Chain A
Amino acid sequence: MAEPATLFDKIWSSHAVQVRADGATLLHIDRHLVHDGSSNAFRTLKSRQLPVRRPDRTFATPDHYVSTLGRGLAAINEPSRRGMVEDLEAHARSAGVTLFGLNDRRQGIVHVVGPEQGLSQPGMVIVCGDSHTATHGAVGALAFGVGASEVAHVLATQTLWQHKPKNMRVTVDGTLAPGVHAKDVILAIIAKISAAGGTGHVIEYAGSTIRDLSMEGRLTVCNMSIEAGARAGMVAPDDTTYQYLHGRPYAPKGADWDKALAGWRLLLTDPEARFDREAHLDAAEIEPMVTWGTSPEAAAPITGAVPDPAAAPDAASRDAMKRALDYMGLAPGEPLSQIAVNRVFIGSCTNSRIEDLRAAAKVAGGRQAVVPTMVVPGSGLVKAQAEAEGLDAIFKRAGFEWREPGCSMCVGMNGDLVAPGDRCASTSNRNFVGRQGKGARTHLVSPVMAVAAAVTGRLSDVRQLLTRS
């Protein structure tokens, strides 16, 4: 009998082209997603006169540099940014790579587009030159981010050398309380295991709470695996996965679907399989979360207070906390629910899918933003769906801006920036120093918590809005 294996082990071994003497494995790549930050890799191929080996396995969409104020290249009014999108389009065209371009409704954030198109499937190895590639692990794939040199390697060979990471399992059991969402789950996980808690590991998220999450919720959880230091995060495929994928443009059809499904059902982690690390969380204990510092691990329940560096376990942590509080302009002991914000951002590859927008609209309905708030859907199709459901009208009535899809204010590369010193409640994934703009202060929250901040002007407990409505 074969050794008991995890979902990750099974995907890894089925993609091993060769194992090198030093133990590194040459992995076959099923899908390679490229975006408007991938130009350096295409240039590497050009300079070495190498073709793209598998244009049929490579899919491109611009997201980081696109304007959220209008479509088309002309909407990008800054030449260096426009050049990035033009470069991607030119490289994709000359290589014969499928492009979801600016005037295509399927364009969007690469990590929203992949699952939405059915490009991301169980059992696959998926890479992209972006650290949030772990998102696609939600469908039961091994998906991870790579740098420019590795993007070039995949373009040229459709393979990648990797040392096999270790197995880690994070189990979350129980029922989430109203107002508590997937974003709170992953922030609670990172707060528990730290920003380096998953380093060198691939995390499989398991337990009844994860099973009960929709595909959108699982995508949110897996998305932030990198924020826990993990190479990838994944959720075993199940009926939620299959129902989500069935009928999507790039999902298998007819007899192929049946064949694929039979294989996918075998991907589950064997009951006797061992994990190198385990962590457990009780869903009942998870509250709506906010971050107070400059690392995603600096997360706490909204009912809590800004922690005191004096209580830190050692001098280095104390110093790091002091720096973070200084940058954030916060004082120890300040209740988190009294922190005033200047703006709110709802979007990013973490929280810009239709379910996120539905949840946000439900809280926004009948209320008014008291600070500038923008909603940036994850793709053209999410935008169209939201408009078909009237969500855009709810947002606009609440005084929110309704924008075009892209990465936007998560990283500000398109010019959607938080002003220096301003404080933003954001549904994105990183509260790093300067992430949303030089001197910008970021508090990571779920979409409903972002709306709560928008309508109250401070970080606030969305559960109080739910009971009143």
Chain B
Amino acid sequence: MEPFKPLDAVAAPLGVPNIDTDQIIPARFLWRKRGDGWGHLLFHDLRVDDGGTPRAEFILNRQEFRDARIVVADRNFGCGSSREHAVWALYDHGIRAVIAPSFGDIFFNNSLQNGLLPVVLPASIVGAFITALVQAPGTRIKIDLEAQCVTGPDGVLHAFEIDPFRKQCLLEGADELAFTLGLDEQIDAFEKAYERKVSWL
């Protein structure tokens, strides 16, 4: 996983609630491998028409949002299927952070595992961001993970919460698995004690 660096980037507004992972990456592509590259498949059926021609009106196809590295979305972004491919598609497209009032729980965890920062801000603030980004396409947003703050389209700073361990992992590009493998003894001890109680497993 790549370390998360401070972002100062164009933000694309997706002001629709409940954007599910089926829309982010349709199921028919999921047989592909992680290393195959997923960016061109992001929002596939929204981005291109049946003939494979990009839909000019889709937000990420518009000239002002071609270089977007931040998505600002409505509530419950990434709900539905647990497919981590949704995160891979966003990440490979160049998106490094999604700001929303709430996320699907599994998507939220998957994001953190891949260097994509999910930022939860109050619905009123996210709504104001979306309005501003729609009115002035191409406006930039800054995200400083170290300082845990977002500089909105109007230049106002907003603090956000993130758990310290996840934050450290993102900043270092470290992954959780390596950390847990270091706890082998504790896991062994737990399993022994547990299996004495639950002997039929």
Interface set of A (CB-CB < 8 Å, partner B): 15, 17-18, 20-24, 26, 28, 30, 37, 39-40, 43, 48, 50, 57, 65, 80-81, 83-84, 129-131, 145-150, 152-153, 156-159, 161, 163, 165, 195-196, 199-200, 226-227, 229, 231, 252-253, 256-257, 259-260, 263, 295, 297, 316-317, 319-320, 323, 411-413, 420, 430, 432-435, 438
Q: Would you call B155 an interface residue if the criterion is a C-beta within 8 Å of the partner chain's C-beta atoms?
A: no
**Nearest Cβ in chain A — how far from B70, in angstroms?**
19
CA distance A275 to B93 in the complex (A): 41
Stretch from B3-11, B57-65, B144-152, B193-201 at the A interface: B193-201
List residues of chain B with CB within 8 A of the CB of A199.
76, 102-105
CA distance A59 to B4 in the complex (A): 36
Q: Is the CB of B23 within 8 A of A146?
A: no
26 inter-chain pairs at a CB distance below 8 angstroms, sorted by A residue, are A18-B190, A20-B165, A21-B165, A26-B187, A43-B33, A50-B181, A83-B31, A129-B82, A130-B82, A131-B80, A157-B180, A159-B180, A161-B180, A196-B102, A200-B105, A229-B104, A229-B105, A256-B199, A316-B16, A412-B28, A430-B20, A432-B23, A432-B80, A433-B20, A433-B45, A438-B26
List residues of chain B with CB within 8 A of the CB of A432.
20, 22-23, 80
CA distance A229 to B23 in the complex (A): 17
Our pick among A80, A161, A256, A435 for the contact of B22 (Cβ within 8 Å) is A435
**Nearest Cβ in chain A — how far from B111, in angstroms?**
9
List residues of chain A with CB within 8 A of the CB of B127.
316
Q: Is the CB of A37 within 8 A of B30?
A: yes
List residues of chain A with CB within 8 A of the CB of B198.
30, 260, 263
CA distance A142 to B175 in the complex (A): 25
Interface size on B, residues (CB 8 A): 59
Q: Is the CB of B17 within 8 A of A317?
A: yes
Our pick among A23, A40, A81 for the contact of B84 (Cβ within 8 Å) is A40
Q: Is the CB of A319 within 8 A of B16?
A: yes
**Nearest Cβ in chain B — how far from A420, in angstroms?**
8
Instruction: Tell me the number of A-to-B contacts counted with CB atoms below 8 Å.
Output: 181
Our pick among A153, A158, A320 for the contact of B18 (Cβ within 8 Å) is A320
Our pick among B17, B164, B199 for the contact of A22 (Cβ within 8 Å) is B164
Q: Is the CB of B180 within 8 A of A195?
A: no
Our pick among B18, B82, B109, B186 for the contact of A195 (Cβ within 8 Å) is B18
Our pick among B102, B164, B180 for the contact of A26 (Cβ within 8 Å) is B180
Most chain B beta-carbon neighbours within 10 Å: one of A50, A153, A159, A432: A432
List residues of chain B with CB within 8 A of the CB of A316.
15-17, 74, 127
Interface set, chain B 101-136, CB cutoff 8 A to A: 102-107, 109-110, 113-114, 127
Interface set, chain B 35-65, CB cutoff 8 A to A: 45, 50
Over the window 64-86 of chain B, the binary record of Cβ atoms lying under 8 Å from chain A Cβ atoms (1 yes, 0 no) is: 00000000001110011111110
* Known contacts A26-B183, A156-B181, A323-B16; A131 and B81 CB within 8 A of each other: yes
Q: Would you call B87 an interface residue if the criterion is a C-beta within 8 Å of the partner chain's C-beta atoms?
A: yes
CA distance A435 to B30 in the complex (A): 13
* Known contacts A30-B201, A256-B200, A317-B17; A196 and B79 CB within 8 A of each other: yes
Q: Would you call B27 an interface residue if the criterion is a C-beta within 8 Å of the partner chain's C-beta atoms?
A: yes
**Nearest Cβ in chain B — how far from A40, in angstroms?**
5
CA distance A323 to B71 in the complex (A): 20
Interface set, chain B 175-194, CB cutoff 8 A to A: 175-177, 180-181, 183, 186-187, 190-191, 194
Our pick among A23, A30, A320 for the contact of B163 (Cβ within 8 Å) is A23
**Nearest Cβ in chain B — how far from A435, in angstroms?**
5
List residues of chain B with CB within 8 A of the CB of A150.
109-110, 113
